[in-house]
Amino acid sequence: MTRQAGQATIELVVGATLLAALALGGVDVLRVLRAHDAAERAAGRAAVLVAERRPIPDSLRRGVQLRVHGGAVRAAVRTCVLTAQIGCFDVGAVVHVP
* Residue 7: CB minimum distance to other proteins, A: 6
CA distance 33 to 61: 19
37 in contact with other proteins (CB under 8 A): yes
96 near other proteins (CB under 8 A) = yes
Contacting residue, 55, 70, 87, 98, with other proteins by CB under 8 A: 98
Residue with Cβ nearer other proteins (36 or 67): 36
* CA 79 – CA 27 distance, rounded (Å): 12
What contacts 67, CB < 8 A, 6 or more positions away?
73, 74
**How many C-beta neighbours within 10 Å does residue 82 have?**
12
Q: Which residues bind other proteins (CB under 8 A)?
A: 4, 7-8, 11-12, 15, 19, 22, 27, 30-31, 33-34, 36-37, 40-41, 43-44, 47-48, 51-53, 71, 93, 95-98
